[in-house]
């Protein structure tokens, strides 16, 4: 029988042996490990020790989840479902479980109502009879002044602007045009 040689394994060889012992590693790695095991006693010992542990590890089954956990979860979820979905309960919890939120909301609401009332309040004027008469008189005077200005403007337009600056040049141009027509007839 051929005696196996003993030599130190490199870290890389050891890693490959460990992977192979746990059933991992590529096919080529496994072949390398196989050859190593057959040729090296140290490799074989190393491989077997890991292989033994790997077998023990593979035997470990998952632990069974206790049934009381499921019961508790079922109870919790059922209770949450019962508390969920009601508008009134949501409102109740929003208002009473968070007093700061409800207090802020109330303050904002009251403030906005007060501001709205102040801004939209109808204006009321209280004048005395003398103030009204005085205002009427002032208005009449103002209208008189405006009327006077309008009359003066009308007269100026009629006499100066239309007569002197519009009618006169218009007549002159018509006369020139007539002369031209007469000349052509001759």
State in angstroms the smallest separation of the CB of 104 from another protein: 29
12 near another protein (CB under 8 A) = no
Among 34, 78, 154, 165, binds another protein (CB under 8 A): 78
User: What is the smallest separation between the CB atom of 60 and another protein, expressed in angstroms?
Assistant: 6
In sequence order, what are the residues at sequence separation of 6 or more whose Cβ sits closer than 8 angstroms to the Cβ of residue 37? 17, 43, 44, 47
- The three state secondary structure string of 77-127 is HHHHHHHCCCHHHHHHHHHHCCHHHHHHHHHHHHHHHHHHHHHCCCCCCCC
Helices vs. strands in the chain: H and E counts, helices first: 8, 0
Which of 4, 5, 52, 175 lies at the binding interface for another protein (CB under 8 A)? 52
**Distances in whole angstroms, Cα of residue 62 to Cα of each of 22, 57, 59, 72, 107:** 18, 11, 10, 21, 58
Tell me the closest approach of the beta carbon of residue 31 to another protein, in angstroms: 20
> What burial letters (b/e) apply to 117-138, b meaning 16+ CB within 10 Å?
eeeeeeeeeeeeeeeeeeeeee
Establish if 83 lies at the interface with another protein (CB under 8 A): no
Here the tokens at position 149 are 């200005």
Residue 18 binds to another protein (criterion: CB under 8 A): yes
Q: Give the count of alpha carbons within 13 A of 166, CB side only.
A: 8
Residue number, 63 or 184, with CB nearest to another protein = 63
> Which range touches another protein (CB under 8 A), out of 34-42, 56-64, 129-137, 152-160?
56-64
Binding another protein (rule: CB under 8 A), the pick from 62, 85, 123, 180 is 62
Which member of 77, 86, 105, 138 binds another protein (CB under 8 A)? 77
Minimum distance of another protein from residue 84's CB (angstroms) = 11
Task: Kindly state whether residue 119 participates in binding another protein, applying the rule CB under 8 A.
Answer: no
Binding site for another protein (CB under 8 A): 15, 18-19, 22, 49-50, 52-54, 56-66, 68-70, 72-74, 76-78, 81
């Amino acid at each position: 029988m051929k005696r196996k040689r003993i030599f130190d394994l490199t870290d890389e060889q050891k890693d490959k042996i460990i992977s192979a012992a746990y059933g991992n590693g590529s096919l080529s790695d496994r072949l390398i490990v196989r050859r190593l095991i057959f040729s090296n006693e140290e490799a074989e010992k190393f491989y077997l020790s890991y292989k033994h542990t790997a077998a023990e590890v593979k035997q470990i089954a998952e632990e069974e989840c206790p049934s009381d956990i499921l019961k508790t979860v079922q109870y919790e979820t059922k209770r949450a479902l019962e508390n969920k979905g009601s508008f009134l309960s949501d409102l109740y919890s929003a208002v009473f479980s968070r007093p700061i939120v409800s207090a802020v909301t109330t303050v904002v609401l009251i403030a906005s109502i007060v501001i709205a009332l102040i801004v939209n309040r109808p204006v009321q004027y209280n004048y005395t009879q003398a103030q009204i008469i005085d205002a009427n008189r002032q208005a009449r005077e103002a209208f008189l002044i405006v009327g006077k200005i309008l009359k003066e403007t009308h007269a100026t337009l009629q006499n100066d602007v239309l007569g002197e600056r519009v009618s006169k040049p218009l007549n002159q141009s018509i006369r020139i045009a007539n002369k031209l027509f007469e000349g052509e007839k001759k």
